[in-house]
Amino acid sequence: MTKRTIATEGKEWSILMPYGYNGKILHVDLTNSRQEIEEPSQEFYRKYMGGSAMGMYYILKDTPIGVDPLAPENVLTVMASVVTGSLISGQSRVNVNARSPLTGAIGDSQSGGFFPANLKFAGIDGIVVTGRSPKPVYLTVIDGKVAFRDAGHLMGKLTGEVEAILKEELDDPKIHILQHGPGAENGVLFSALMSMANRANGRTGMGLVMASKNLKAIVVKGTKKMEMADRDGLKAIMKAGPGLMKENADVDDCGTFGTGACMNVHNEVGAQPFRNYNEGQWDRAVDISGETMSDTILLKRDTCYACIVRCKRVVEITEPPYEVDPLYGGPEFETLSTFGTYCGINNLAAVARANQTCNEYGVDTISCGATISFAMECFEKGIIGLEETGGLELRFGDAEVMLEVLQQIVTNSGALGPVLSQGSARAAEKWGPEAADCLITVKGLEAPAHMPQWKKGLGLIYAVNPFGADHQSCEHDPNYEEGSTDLILGHLAEIDLKEPQQPESLEPEKVRFAAKTQIFYSLMDTLELCQFVWGPAWCLYGPSQTVDMVRTVTGWDVSIDELMRVGERRLNMLRAYNAREGFGRKDDKLPNKFFKALKGSGPFAGKALDKEEYERALSLYYEMADWTEDGVPAPAKMLELGLEWVEMPS
Ligand code: SF4
């Protein structure tokens, strides 16, 4: 807390108040319909700062070891950070954590939009949810007032319908809603949480955890604006934004063409996953690129609270057969990839329609599209036949069939829905060892569209990341090569990365790059910062500006070392959770497919990861992280990070 003087009733009062945050965590016990506000100390906020670090504090303290992910005891946390709601780009994000029903490891997902900032404006910094309500309810937090309301009438409704019903019911079009969709009610293991019907906390099945608690939605709204310690200092950082964007082609392209701008770049390099990661290049990928979307179905660009980048897409298609409603946004690069190139589909309208279906039902587009492409490969190879598919010719390139399977998944119906709604790893258990060779999962989580054959350091982080293969958990290798721009290399030098590497290297310096930038990314999932705006390399603002921003918002005299320590703390908390559940080196495994030569055309055709090189890099990574040979945070590391209170396996 910071001593501040406020004037009221004609007098000046000196009181203790925080800058940047509310100092309030809402605890909700759904079993007993109870709620309580906790006011943690400033020390707590400075140590954990927000996001999944703050969430993991409660999860590690209160979740029983061995908990069933769908049991009332599985603690679910929804956390903003000490800087969420400040007036600068890329700060309106929220993190959701719980044990994942998809992987059994810790679950973790972030999303942006307006819900996160409005959670803060409603007067709280985060929510800890326990128990299970006897009947469906939704929670409202409006200007500090908390209430449970009946949600029976919302069940089975699409996310856009729930948005409309709640805005009318609460007579307020400005409320912000985080909800699970009917996909979770149908038992889809990779169910997401949605806000605005188009922003997803997509990964690791957090929607299903919330549904298991009979909590349909969280509604927030507030009039409180966050106080900044140094408003002018923050304004100066904000004002620099447009100029920095003009000078930074990567961020500018991200705004102009959306994340789909990656498609042509990856494809040209030969590392755009095609046909379930069997090939890395496709001459039709351009048809579903961000540039093509801008020229055809893009209605407008959208943004998150206070962000100048405006990378979000809103698309509209009015012609059959694939009409798309702008309410559901537009496909991101990962979605264009999983439903597009993974499945060999270059029909942009069909991919945009698949995106809408996922958003309507609240399911993760990465796991969903990748699970369909996995099933397509199984069918093409004769591992499954018409009996398993219910008569569908499940071939790469067939948009109609892709959409039919998607519908079966989100409704958990038909021949394939009950199998594929459980994710590809469980489907492979059913379909046998040949199917397992078609998987692209790590810890049961389907891999996003960044190929480790090109980005070996990222591949290593896919393996060690506590919640499975994730592309936003470290910086990508091509940014640490000679030839990277001065801007990027300058940012990286601020966190002591000064020796750019050869392409496709997995030498010790590359492992150090992966490990160090992983910690910076972990910090961003603690401060809840958008990784297209803040980051250690290509983004709008680099490490030193991140320090300045945290200082101006909170008034804390933080250093880059202190912030890196916060990121390291989060990573070790996630990893400690997994260790308690029996996860270790045996789970830090990349799929077999990545070690087999890529087929098709392009510079990476014929290339594969090398098992020995990868195992060496893994051991070195553990050493750098101060983890045991089994990948468990060592007691000395836990002590150093102030985490000695975490119960660990003996
Ligand atoms: S860059 Fe895009 S995703 Fe990130 S905060 Fe801005 S609009 Fe949102």
Q: What is the 3-state secondary structure (H, E, C) of 124-139?
A: CCEEEEECCCCCCEEE
Q: Is 633 in the pocket of ligand 1 (CB under 6 A)?
A: no
CA distance linking residue 179 with residue 485, whole number of Å = 41
Distance 211 CA to ligand 1 centre (A): 27
C-alpha atoms less than 13 angstroms from C-alpha of 629 in its C-beta half-sphere: 1
CA distance linking residue 532 with residue 539, whole number of Å = 6
Kindly give, in sequence order, each residue whose CB lies less than 8 Å from that of residue 212, ignoring residues fewer than 6 positions away: 69, 70, 71, 72, 74, 101, 132
pLDDT category of residue 351 using cuts at 50, 70 and 90: very high
One-letter amino acid at 94 equals V
What is the structure's pLDDT at 14?
63
CA distance linking residue 41 with residue 88, whole number of Å = 26
Percent of the chain with pLDDT over 70: 98
Distance 117 CA to ligand 1 centre (A): 13
For range 124-132, the mean pLDDT: 98
Distance 247 CA to ligand 1 centre (A): 18
Q: Is 558 in the pocket of ligand 1 (CB under 6 A)?
A: no
Site to substitute for ligand 1 among 87, 253, 307, 525, most atoms within 8 A of C-beta: 307
User: How many Cβ atoms are within 10 Å of 496's Cβ, its own excluded?
Assistant: 12
What is the structure's pLDDT at 241?
97
What is the structure's pLDDT at 650?
76
Residue of the nearest CA to atom 5 in ligand 1? 90
- Are the C-beta atoms of 179 and 197 separated by less than 8 Å? no
For range 202-221, the mean pLDDT: 98
One-letter amino acid at 564 equals M
93 Cα distance to chain centroid: 10
CA dihedral 59, 60, 63, 67 (to 10 degrees): 110
Atom of ligand 1 nearest to the CA of 530: 4
CA distance linking residue 242 with residue 414, whole number of Å = 50
For range 119-139, the mean pLDDT: 98
Atom of ligand 1 nearest to the CA of 302: 7
Q: Is 301 in the pocket of ligand 1 (CB under 6 A)?
A: no
Atom of ligand 1 nearest to the CA of 304: 8
Distance 90 CA to ligand 1 centre (A): 6
Distance 310 CA to ligand 1 centre (A): 6
Percent of the chain with pLDDT over 90: 97
Residue 511 to residues 108, 488, 614, 632, Cα–Cα distance (Å): 23, 18, 10, 18
Site to substitute for ligand 1 among 303, 534, 540, most atoms within 8 A of C-beta: 303
Q: What is the gyration radius of the CA atoms in the chain, in angstroms? A: 23
- What CATH number is given for 18-221 in this structure? 3.60.9.10
For range 393-411, the mean pLDDT: 98
Atom of ligand 1 nearest to the CA of 113: 8
* Paired tokens of 613: 């090189």
The predicted-structure confidence for 432-478, as pLDDT tens digits, reads as follows 999 999 999 999 999 999 999 999 999 999 999 999 999 999 999 99
Pairing of strands 137-142, 215-221: parallel
Distance 255 CA to ligand 1 centre (A): 8
Q: Is 304 in the pocket of ligand 1 (CB under 6 A)?
A: yes
C-alpha atoms less than 13 angstroms from C-alpha of 167 in its C-beta half-sphere: 15
Site to substitute for ligand 1 among 87, 89, 534, most atoms within 8 A of C-beta: 89
Domain 456-640, CATH number (from 1.10.599.10, 3.40.50.720, 1.10.490.10, 3.40.50.300): 1.10.599.10
For range 28-37, the mean pLDDT: 97
Site to substitute for ligand 1 among 245, 256, 309, most atoms within 8 A of C-beta: 309
Q: Is 485 in the pocket of ligand 1 (CB under 6 A)?
A: no
What is the structure's pLDDT at 499?
97
489 Cα distance to chain centroid: 26
Atom of ligand 1 nearest to the CA of 251: 1
Place of tokens 């990656």: 262
Q: Is 307 in the pocket of ligand 1 (CB under 6 A)?
A: yes
Distance 93 CA to ligand 1 centre (A): 9
CA distance linking residue 150 with residue 156, whole number of Å = 14
CA distance linking residue 61 with residue 100, whole number of Å = 17
Place of tokens 């609270």: 305
- Return the closest-CA partner of residue 463 out of 104, 474, 643, 124: 474
For range 367-387, the mean pLDDT: 98
Residue of the nearest CA to atom 4 in ligand 1? 530
Which top CATH class is 256-438? mainly alpha
The predicted-structure confidence for 475-499, as pLDDT tens digits, reads as follows 999 999 988 999 999 999 999 999 9
Whether 16 has a pLDDT exceeding 70, the answer reads: no
Residue 630 to residues 456, 464, 580, 618, 635, Cα–Cα distance (Å): 21, 11, 13, 10, 13
Q: Is 515 in the pocket of ligand 1 (CB under 6 A)?
A: no
- Are the C-beta atoms of 361 and 181 separated by less than 8 Å? yes
Q: Is 607 in the pocket of ligand 1 (CB under 6 A)?
A: no
Q: Is 530 in the pocket of ligand 1 (CB under 6 A)?
A: yes
What is the structure's pLDDT at 1?
59
pTM score: 0.97
- Are the C-beta atoms of 598 and 444 separated by less than 8 Å? no
Whether 2 has a pLDDT exceeding 80, the answer reads: no
Distance 91 CA to ligand 1 centre (A): 9
One-letter amino acid at 366 equals I
- Return the closest-CA partner of residue 358 out of 405, 410, 402: 410
Site to substitute for ligand 1 among 300, 314, 533, most atoms within 8 A of C-beta: 533
What is the structure's pLDDT at 9?
60
More confident residue, 436 or 15: 436
Kindly give, in sequence order, each residue whose CB lies less than 8 Å from that of residue 416, ignoring residues fewer than 6 positions away: 375, 388, 389, 390, 392, 405, 408, 409
Residue of the nearest CA to atom 2 in ligand 1? 311
The predicted-structure confidence for 161-176, as pLDDT tens digits, reads as follows 999 999 999 999 999 9
Average pLDDT over all residues of the chain: 97
* Paired tokens of 544: 């030193």
212 Cα distance to chain centroid: 21
For the chain, what are the domain ranges? 18-221, 256-438, 456-640
* Paired tokens of 134: 């006897």
Atom of ligand 1 nearest to the CA of 532: 1
Whether 375 has a pLDDT exceeding 90, the answer reads: yes
Residue of the nearest CA to atom 8 in ligand 1? 304
What is the structure's pLDDT at 649?
81
Distance 418 CA to ligand 1 centre (A): 35
